[in-house]
Amino acid sequence: MNPTAQAILHFLLTWWVEIVCGVVIVAVLPLVAGYVVLVERKLMADMQARLGPMRVGPHGLLQPIADAVKLLIKEDIVPRDADGLIFWFAPVISMVAAMTSMGALAFGPTFQVARDINIGILFVVGVSSLGFLGIILGGWASNSHYSIIGAIRSTAQLVSYETAGGLAIVSALLLSGTLKIRAIVDAQYDHHVWFGFLAPVAFFTYLVASIAETNRAPFDLPEAESELVAGYMTEYSGFRWALYFLGEYANMIVVGSVATTLFLGGWLRPFPSVHWLDKPLGVLPALLIGGVGVYSIYRAGKQPVPIQTWFMWAVALACFAVAGIFAAPWVFAPLKFIIPGLNGAFWFLLKVGAYIYVFMWLRFTLPRYRFDQLMHLGWYILIPLAIVNVFAVGVALLLESEFGWNRWLALIVTTAFTLAIALFLVRLHDKRTTAGSSATAATTDSYAG
């Protein structure tokens, strides 16, 4: 065997888990992102008194695939004066960053995506924020005013909200004492409570910051449709555009996973240490998935076209198959060892789904912030709040360990202190904005005539 082949073989043998994971992420993530989009459109339709996609497949279930095919075969336009290489490369950065950061996530006690590295959370946060580089470069390379304004906005937004989000993560890390993802979840098991309850202010800060980081409404200024057409994506079409889109939705899954891991107990079920709930909550996943299957059969009879009926039956069968896997260990005792892994993944994905649902719900409900308002919210309220909260959580931990306070008492006192600060900041902010807007009005007047 020649040395090159040996080197390659050695490389493959050392890294085969990571390589397989990479292939799986690249293969599965687009599909997942596509269906997240479908769910979003369906939810939006439901809240807006309409039906949403209904044409492609029953209830539009094949819509993501149709969209993907359309995007792949669409003409790929590069503006004449665009910086070709960067224009080509920018969406790739955006998506690769989002996909790479998924590598360190864990979806359950046995479902580690690639490897449980010792700087887990730091790696995820760091790599996923590289995605902004793609946005900035794409906006710049497009050589379009809309794109460059979108890119500038996203830079400012990144700096402001990544700071707040990072500080919120620090609060949770103080409680867990580790950056390792599995250890963070284990710490929540040991504490008998999710960190979201121990550090509610940090959770809220992270929620807001993560919405801003993923460019979702009401913080979707970099691509604000009604102002900047599509912001940094204005000049992109077809597959490149799809890469950006994929990156955005992958990022949503990433921040949802980070929030779930840090604040919502990861793959722990509700009340993880109350043991009489083991059985009822243990069979719940199987029952829920089976219920979806039953509902699909019920709907199958109501489809207008035979092919849609068959499709619904197929969905039902798939649900029953999955439910069967979840139920098998309860029937067949030797398989009991797969329960924690399966149910863990179920709870984790359920929590991520709930987190993303909040994102979507806010998007349908709220108007968009203006750029200056976004900056004010970030710098005058969220960042100070996050800093104060880091100190508050630290003080609470000190009170507990050094002075023997009850943990809950310490946390309630410090959280109350943080909330008081928050109230003060909001007051201050309100005063400042009223002053600010009257100044704007004065400027307007002085230009008149």
Partner 1 sequence: MADTVQDNATQQNGTLLGADELVLNMGPQHPSTHGVLRVKLKLDGERVRGTECVIGYLHRGVEKIAENRSYQQFAPYVDRMDYVAAVSNGLGYCEAVEKLLNVEAPPRAKVIRTILTELQRIASHLIWLGTHALDIGALTPLFYCFREREEILKIFEKYCGARLTTHAFRIGGLQYESYDSFEKDVERFCKDFERHIQEYVDLLTGNSIWIGRTRNVGVLNAADCIAIGASGPILRASGVKWDLRKAQPYAAYDQYKFEIPTGTNGDTYDRYMVRMEEMRQSRLICLQAIENIPEGPILGKVGKVLKPPAGEIYHSIEAPKGILGYYIVSDGGTQPYRVRIRPPSFVNLQALDKMTRGHLVADVVAIIGTLDIVLGEVDR
Using rule CB under 8 A, residue 448 touches partner 1? yes
Q: Which two tokens stand for residue 51?
A: 């039906």
Figure out which of the listed residues 17, 26, 335, 439 binds partner 1, where binding follows CB under 8 A: 439
- Count CB atoms within 10 A of the CB of residue 174: 19
Footprint of partner 1 on 42-61 (CB under 8 A) = 44, 47-50
Binding mask 371-410 for partner 1 (x = CB under 8 A): xxx-------------------------------------
Q: C-beta of 19: minimal distance to partner 1 in Å?
A: 41
# residues contacting partner 1 (CB under 8 A): 42
Footprint of partner 1 on 126-165 (CB under 8 A) = 145-146, 149
Closer to partner 1 at the Cβ: 50 or 80? 50
Residue closest to 257 by CA, chosen among 53, 107, 434, 39: 107
Q: C-beta of 228: minimal distance to partner 1 in Å?
A: 8
Distance CA 251, CA 211 (A): 10
Contacts 24+ apart (CB under 8 A), 425-430: 425/380, 425/381, 425/384, 425/385, 426/381, 428/380, 429/376, 429/377, 429/380, 429/381
Using rule CB under 8 A, residue 436 touches partner 1? yes
Residue closest to 133 by CA, chosen among 232, 53, 280: 232
Q: C-beta of 446: minimal distance to partner 1 in Å?
A: 7
Helix (H, G, I), strand (E, B) or coil at 106: strand
The string over 322-352, giving b where at least 16 C-beta atoms fall within 10 Å of a residue's C-beta and e elsewhere, is: bbeebbebeeeeeeeeebbebbbbbbbbbbb
Closer to partner 1 at the Cβ: 331 or 435? 435
Using rule CB under 8 A, residue 446 touches partner 1? yes
Footprint of partner 1 on 193-252 (CB under 8 A) = 217-218, 220-221, 224-229
CA 86 to chain centroid, in Å, comes to: 27
Figure out which of the listed residues 364, 379, 391, 405 binds partner 1, where binding follows CB under 8 A: 364
Distances (CA, A) of 76 to 30, 135, 138, 321: 19, 18, 15, 40
Using rule CB under 8 A, residue 440 touches partner 1? yes
Q: C-beta of 439: minimal distance to partner 1 in Å?
A: 4
Q: C-beta of 162: minimal distance to partner 1 in Å?
A: 21
Figure out which of the listed residues 332, 337, 403, 447 binds partner 1, where binding follows CB under 8 A: 447
Distances (CA, A) of 335 to 109, 324, 348, 351: 16, 12, 21, 25
Figure out which of the listed residues 370, 406, 424, 428 binds partner 1, where binding follows CB under 8 A: 370
Query: Is the separation of the CB atoms in 33 and 95 below 8 Å?
Result: no
Residues contributing to the site for partner 1 (CB under 8 A): 44, 47-50, 145-146, 149, 217-218, 220-221, 224-229, 363-373, 433, 435-441, 443-444, 446-448
